[in-house]
Amino acid sequence: MTPIPPAGRTLILGGVRSGKSRFAEGLALGSGLPVIYFATARAGDAAMGERIAEHQRRRPTDWCLVEEPLALADRLAAAAAPGRCCLVECLTLWLTNLLLEVDAARIEREIAALLSVVECAPGHVILVGNESNMGVTPLGELSRRYCDLAGGLHQQLAERCARVILVVAGLPLMVKGTAA
């Protein structure tokens, strides 16, 4: 039997450019709590740099920013607190960063650590990820591993979250929990 997840946990999934980030930012803003924004992206090229800049322009200036491409669980554990909202953007970029690391075993340790932190972190936690498993199975080994890891992570996080929301074309679809 899965324990009842804490009310302050929300997982938001959607495709690329689905509106999931804007929706998550709106939830964080609407919480009325101080927000810590965990950015996991690395600007590896000009297009990604522009995406990062777009997110920066949208964020309120009073939000605290933590840029962490790898050790997300440690940083989230240190920052989560009652009366605070932590917004993680984005889980799947974080997984990509870990997949590209030299230490192949690190990804399993980091996933386990994140699951543990999400399970017991005080305050509100909003997690954003790309739903990448709604199409054909990728041909390449690395791409298949990424999709398997992302799918498994999302399932395990969904068990630990009170709300799971799928965003499609900017519209939130409640998968688990209630809107309030």
User: Which positions are annotated as active-site residues?
Assistant: 55
Q: Which of these, 156, 172, 55, 74, lies nearest to 115 by C-alpha position? A: 156
Nearest-5° angle of CA 65, CA 77, CA 130? 65
The one-character DSSP state at 122 is -
Q: Which of these, 39, 38, 42, 21, lies nearest to 100 by C-alpha position? A: 42
Q: Are strands 64-67 and 171-176 parallel, antiparallel or unpaired?
A: unpaired
The one-character DSSP state at 18 is S
